[in-house]
Amino acid sequence: MKAAVLSAPNQVQLREVAAPTISQTGETIGDVEFVGVCKTDQQLTATGLEKELILGHEVVCRLPQESGHFALNNEISCGRCSYCAEGLTSHCPNLHELGVNDNGGYAEKIRAPRQSFHPFSFCNPTLGVLIEPVSCAVRGAKRILAATKLLAVTHPTIVVIGGGISGALISYLLTRSPEFKGEIYLYDITPDPIPWANNLGIQRIGKVEPDQAHGIIECSGSPNGLAIAFQAVRKSGFVCIYGVPQPELALPISAHELFMREIALITSFAGATEETMGAAIDYIRQDETFFEQSLGRSISLEQLPTELTTWNPQPGTRTVVNLGL
């Protein structure tokens, strides 16, 4: 089969490789239709991995002898450990992450347990690539709502840093939540328009001031975004690290200052569970028009190596690899 293989830092080649075969009972081989190109893919491409790997974790497939489209939960957990028992499958110590540490979806076929494929029915099946990122945002929004309960005010000012897809999905879920009564502002360094913010009625701010917000949601994953977050959060407020920070990045604040300013720090990572996948499918099905604007360019597998090494999506959108092109 055709696959895009990451072989070394910034080396992705389109190659003919052996198609996966079923190695354990309960597995199935999906025919890949669409894959979202995530910033995680770009970061893994830049650093390279210890072994050759097929990336791609936001995957939509067809399955043999079944009709319709299926979204992959790329996190394959053991189902036996204490974290799995608590439903925290992303924290399973035996986790296989397809497209991260095991072969993923940038190929014609992908192997996974049948139960990892979730059926969905949207007018536009390409939207299925958003199920995994929305699933992660469902968990993020839940943790952020819990953090707002610690605040002294019931109508907090929240600043979202980063107008990419993470910022869009978190903002969407908060504005749709009946529990959320605050005001959201968006800060992003790009001068380009960010359509999702307009559509949600979220105002953009050109600068973030100290003491500006009760809650800051850092969605950019950048050192600068993190530094701004801790400068701008009010005393007794919270910072949520949602964008994935680089492994070597330290917190730009001392433990003493964190204590004195009484800042609550939360993070959100573990969002690809059975429960959040189901919730994500419901959110998208109920509002396809909103999510359609998050779909960016559609590219072929042949175009993917260039896309991964010269990361340049339209602001706030997902580029999609269409295996049918």
Q: Which is nearer to Zn ion, 70 or 83 (CB)?
A: 83
Q: Based on the shown chain and the rule CB under 5 A, indicate whether residue 308 belongs to the binding site for Zn ion.
A: no
Least Å from the CB of residue 291 to Zn ion: 15
Q: Provide the minimum distance between the beta carbon of 84 and Zn ion in the complex, in angstroms, as a whole number.
A: 3
Q: Does position 77 bind Zn ion by CB under 5 A?
A: yes
Q: Does 153 bind Zn ion (CB under 5 A)?
A: no
Nearer to Zn ion, 77 or 135 (CB): 77
78 is a site residue for Zn ion (CB under 5 A): yes
- 254 vs 212, 227, 236, CA distance in Å? 20, 12, 16
Does 38 help bind Zn ion (rule: CB under 5 A)? yes
User: By CB under 5 A, which span of 39-47, 102-110, 114-122, 141-149 interacts with Zn ion?
Assistant: 39-47
CB closer to Zn ion, 94 vs 300: 94
147 forms part of the interface with Zn ion (CB under 5 A): no
User: In one letter, which amino acid is 73?
Assistant: N
- Looking at the chain, which runs of residues are DSSP E strands? 2-8, 11-16, 27-37, 58-62, 69-72, 75-76, 96-97, 109-113, 117-120, 157-161, 183-187, 203-204, 213-218, 233-241, 264-267, 295-299, 318-322
**Residue 42 engages Zn ion in binding (rule: CB under 5 A):** no
Compute the C-alpha angle 99/90/297, nearest 5°: 40
166 binds Zn ion (CB under 5 A): no
Strand partners, 97: 75
Among 81, 150, 200, 227, binds Zn ion (CB under 5 A): 81
**CB closer to Zn ion, 54 vs 92:** 92
Cα angle 77, 79, 82; round to 5:
100
- Footprint of Zn ion on residues 207-236 (CB under 5 A)? none
- According to DSSP, residue 44 is labeled H
Q: Does 6 bind Zn ion (CB under 5 A)?
A: no
Question: What whole-number distance in Å separates Cα of residue 68 and Cα of residue 58?
Answer: 17
Task: Determine, following the binding rule CB under 5 A, whether residue 273 of this chain makes contact with Zn ion.
Answer: no
Tokens of residue 173, six digits: 């879920």
**Quick check: 85 binds Zn ion (CB under 5 A)?**
no
DSSP-based three-state secondary structure for 316: coil
Residue 305: its H or E element: helix 304-309
The single residue among 40, 101, 231, 303 that binds Zn ion, judged by CB under 5 A, is 40
The interface region with Zn ion, picked from 59-67, 76-84, 190-198, 221-229 by CB under 5 A, is: 76-84
Pairing of strands 157-161, 117-120: unpaired
37/147 with CB nearer Zn ion: 37
**Using rule CB under 5 A, residue 270 touches Zn ion:** no
Residue 10 or 43 having the CB closest to Zn ion = 43
What is the chain's length?
Answer: 325
Q: Is 320 in the site for Zn ion (CB under 5 A)?
A: no
CA torsion through residues 288, 289, 293, 297, sign: positive
In terms of CB distance, is 118 or 234 closer to Zn ion? 118
Binding site for Zn ion (CB under 5 A): 38, 40, 77-78, 81, 84, 92
